[in-house]
Amino acid sequence: MKKKLQIDSRRAICLASVIFLVGGIAAVPAAAQKTSHSEERAVAAENASLLVAVKKIMGLVQDVTRRHAADPVAKELGFFSGTTPLSGGFRSSEGEMSTDELVELLYQLRREVRDVSRQLQDQNEDLLVRRMDRIEETIDEALDLARRQTGNAYTASGRNYSGDLNKNADRVVISVKDNSVATLTSDDTEWYESGGTEWPDDFDDWRYRNRKWRSSSSSFPGDYTRSWPYAEQAVYRESPGIRYNRVEGVFLGVRRRPLDWNSYEQARIYGQGGYAFELKEWLYEIGAEAKIGKSHRLQDFGFKFGGSYHRNTTTQDLWKSSWTENSLAGFLFGYDFFDYFQTEGWTTYAVSRLTPFFQLSAGYREDTYRSLEQNTSWALFGADNYRPNPSIDEGKMNSVVLALDGGRVRGYTYRPDGISFRLQAEIGKGMGGDFSFNSYQGDVRTFIRLTHNTGFDVRLRAGLTDGDVPVQKSFSIGGIGSVRGYPQNIFIGSRMMIANAEYTVYKQGLFDNVFDELSIFGLFDAGWSNYTGNNSFEWDNVVSAAGFGVAIDERLIRLELAWPLKDVGTGMQPSLWLRLNPTF
């Protein structure tokens, strides 16, 4: 299949349409708006098509809004339809659409949104990807409303609906392809008997709408988006093309990601390369991947294999923060949450998607490890906060890496619901090289929607090493992303366990709904490490912290205030952090 270097006209129409829906998304970076005269003429030539697409989408939204004026979701849909520059009650020339047509068109729109989102991800348009995820959530809400239309029975894209045709049945069953079922019992028939126009005060619509996960809006292992909880990869190490830290200073380069399971490509050259100005070195990775089968069509199974050669700056701390957040913290305020070392060598690997819910990875690495020194202390607003970068045990390391990823998470950046896990082992014993060790790690995260506006999230993570363990393979906890309230990476050992819990109340409209998107959460962290030299678990060595915070822009902009609950010689003062991604 011919490779698509740019979003084609069909997807451009969809992208422009959903951008109109949320208004503010149109404020893309100025550089992206500087098109040539020829491009402007091409855009002008498509105006008629764009207008037709926008009218169709607005008609769909207004259909659902009008039919469910009392529904809680209708407020948001009504806002979209009422504030869009092209709003005004557009109707097709064919008159009112049937529920069947409405649902089918919404499914088509959602597929287009997902296609555009994947291409934006390839172009590193993270802001637009986040907004596209929110639009997809809104489309799913509209589909939920459409599914509840009484007096109709339809089959669309493999999804079946049994309606209350006579308005006197005692339940309605909605089923989707994954065989999940949501049921309304006789306690809820009052709403149906009233024709669905008014909501009784005690009717818990969210209860059944979210009893099942909808695979169409969920993220799965191996998805290269911001909607999957694990930023680090198991068998290879990704680095961004632009970053800033205390060992490299400014790094300027380019990057191309490996293959996505949803990609139409069967093979790809990927990698990253650029220059680290303070390190005064060229760093790079060049690799190739190939897929077997049509994984973009057959979502139940996929297989890909590849290999790469690299000389790059590496960190073990990506589970605590992200490259973007860390770079901004360093550049602006002189806080660098990662510890770094250099690896040079090659790797080969294979990855198999067993089902959409499980991914198995295996790889072999031969790396030479080198220490890196701190080369800069500059920051825009003060540079007294940098920690020294620790030295490592240098030498050659050969190892086999095995990993099993699993789960499904819906709405990770918004209101997460689901579970994810990763089990990983790095086997270095008997592989030659300068180190003989094994390392085992496990990470489980569960996101529970208690009610429509509340959620309870938990992460459990543990690590264990065995043998002659180099210091760079030890585990560090404390600070951002682990046990908040303590200095960053203060507890280092060959074994560790941590637990994080957050209870969140979403969308608190304070001060007459001025902050309508504000969320409030409470947090509790606990961690243990054998940093004292005692390998046996003891409660006296557990450190913990508690606090609270607020979040806006879904879950991604957060203000966290945490107090340490144990004095380890660093004081009991709280820490306050502005975060740009969830802790887990």
Which whole number is the average pLDDT over 456-470?
A: 95
User: What is the band of 418 on the pLDDT scale with cuts at 50, 70, 90?
Assistant: very high
Among 123-132, 222-231, 305-314, the minimum mean pLDDT is found in 123-132
Most confident of 64-73, 217-226, 322-331: 322-331
Q: Which residue has the higher pLDDT, 130 or 443?
A: 443
Beta-carbon contacts of residue 579 (< 8 Å; ≥ 6 apart): 325, 480, 557, 558, 559, 560
The answer to whether the CB of 380 falls within 8 A of the CB of 331 is yes
Q: Find the largest Cα–Cα distance for the chain.
A: 77
For position 125, what pLDDT does the model report? Answer: 66
Of 89, 90, 209, 91, the C-alpha closest to 146 is 209
CA–CA dist 291, 310 (Å, integer): 22
Mind listing the pLDDT tens digit for each residue in 156-211?
333 333 333 333 333 333 333 333 333 334 343 343 334 333 434 444 444 444 44
User: What is the band of 218 on the pLDDT scale with cuts at 50, 70, 90?
Assistant: confident
Find the Cα–Cα–Cα–Cα dihedral 361, 366, 368, 372, rounded to 10°: -10
Tell me the whole-structure pTM to 2 decimals. 0.68
Domain boundaries, the chain: 1-147, 159-212
For residue 17, the surrounding DSSP H or E stretch is helix 9-22
The answer to whether the CB of 565 falls within 8 A of the CB of 538 is no
Q: Does the pLDDT of residue 517 top 80, yes or no? A: no
For position 293, what pLDDT does the model report? Answer: 76
> Any alpha helices (H) in 288-438, and if so which ranges?
323-333
